[in-house]
Amino acid sequence: MIKQRTIKQSVKETGIGLHKGDKVTMTLRPAPANTGIVFRRVDLEPYADIPARADSVGDTMLCTCISNSDGVTISTVEHLASALAGLGIDNIIVEVDSDELPIMDGSASPFIFLLQSAGIEEINTAKQFIKITKTIRVEEDDKWAELRPYDGFRVDFRIDFDHPVISETRQHMVLDFDSSSYVDEVSRARTFGFMKDLEYMHSHNLALGGSMENAVALDEYRVLNPEGLRYSDEFLKHKILDAIGDLYLGGHSIVGELVAYKTGHGLNNKLLNALLQNKECWEFVSYETPEEMPIRFASPFLATN
Ligand SMILES: [Zn+2]
């Protein structure tokens, strides 16, 4: 039986929040089967749990924010969600002493490192995948995204930025995660933005934690970060990283293909909600042996302890 996963032991990390720029402490804790991903605001008395759910996502202008039924919110969840998707972790408690997760370096890589140092543990309960059985599509202006049946997990992603730096990099790729590693190919891609937007936001008390420490900053003609890009196609890969995280807020790994044109957090979430509401387009499946499982994740036994 392919089993659900959690982490072996708790791990703690501190960083700054993107929105307020304050120090945030985050503790990742193991959780039993069928818990899912639960964010816990320990800055509140009593603390408040915010389970990751497709229909609790809001405010997608700067990042992905989710809320519980009492209206308690947690922001900037998408890069951790992407790391959890990449490692196939089903159950975890994410404690934070703020209303946002630490932004870290703007990629999923520090979360991958943290999860791998906690160690991955299997739980004796079958892992449930969402298998796409019929194509579902959402559109918004000229943007669109589809989930199609596919025996594996593949992403066919296109961005179309009319900016001299981004348009010189690859804007379309197909990544099949049977032959490509999420950790190597995707997880290190940082978020990006324009310096003039960042300056404008700072002047309006927004994105106070945003800097070249946690984003690739662009002006009209070039990348401003002295270290340059981590991948030649880092912009495209970050959009893929975001989409993988956004789709994982449904709590299950998807067996299928994402085909997307210029999508972002809002449309990714619309796709996930459309999918979950259209039950004729998918089914839950579980697998008996690794050989029949169409998705490969990092082996839990590769973890460092
Ligand atoms: Zn992002």
* CA atoms of 1 and 291, how far apart (whole Å): 11
- Distance from the CA of 44 to the center of ligand 1, in angstroms? 26
- The torsion angles phi and psi of 246, rounded to 5 degrees, stand at -60, -40
CA angle 203, 209, 215 (to 5 degrees): 105
Span of 64-68, 173-177, 238-242 with lowest mean pLDDT: 64-68
Burial 37-53 (b: 16+ CB within 10 A, else e): bbbbbeeeeeebebbbb
Point out the catalytic residue in the list 19, 238, 252, 265. 265
Report the pLDDT value the prediction gives residue 305, as an integer from 0 to 100: 35
Tokens coding 6: 């959690």
What is the arithmetic mean of pLDDT over 106-135?
97
What is the arithmetic mean of pLDDT over 178-194?
94
Tokens coding 111: 């979360």
CA angle 180, 184, 186 (to 5 degrees): 80
- Distance from the CA of 202 to the center of ligand 1, in angstroms? 19
* CA atoms of 117 and 131, how far apart (whole Å): 30
Under 8 Å CB-to-CB from 143, ≥6 apart: which residues? 261, 262, 263, 264, 267
- Distance from the CA of 80 to the center of ligand 1, in angstroms? 10
Asked whether the beta carbons of 88 and 295 are under 8 A apart, the reply is yes
What is the arithmetic mean of pLDDT over 176-196?
93
Confidence of residue 282 (pLDDT cuts 50, 70, 90): very high
pLDDT above 80 (res 5): yes
Report the pLDDT value the prediction gives residue 114, as an integer from 0 to 100: 97
Report the pLDDT value the prediction gives residue 304, as an integer from 0 to 100: 39
Dihedral-angle region of residue 175 (phi above 0 means left; psi in -120 to 50 means alpha; beta otherwise): beta
- Tens-place pLDDT, residues 217-236: 999 899 999 999 999 999 99
- Tens-place pLDDT, residues 69-116: 999 999 999 999 999 999 999 999 999 999 999 999 999 999 999 999
Tokens coding 127: 């892992």
- Distance from the CA of 241 to the center of ligand 1, in angstroms? 7
- Distance from the CA of 125 to the center of ligand 1, in angstroms? 31
Instruction: Look over the chain and give the mean of its residue pLDDT values, rounded to a whole number.
Output: 93
- Tens-place pLDDT, residues 12-48: 999 999 988 999 999 999 999 999 999 999 999 999 9
46 cis-preceded (ω within 30 degrees of 0): yes
DSSP state of 11: E
- Per the annotation, the verdict on 172 as an active-site residue is no
Tokens coding 139: 């559109």
The whole-model pTM stands at 0.95
164 cis-preceded (ω within 30 degrees of 0): no
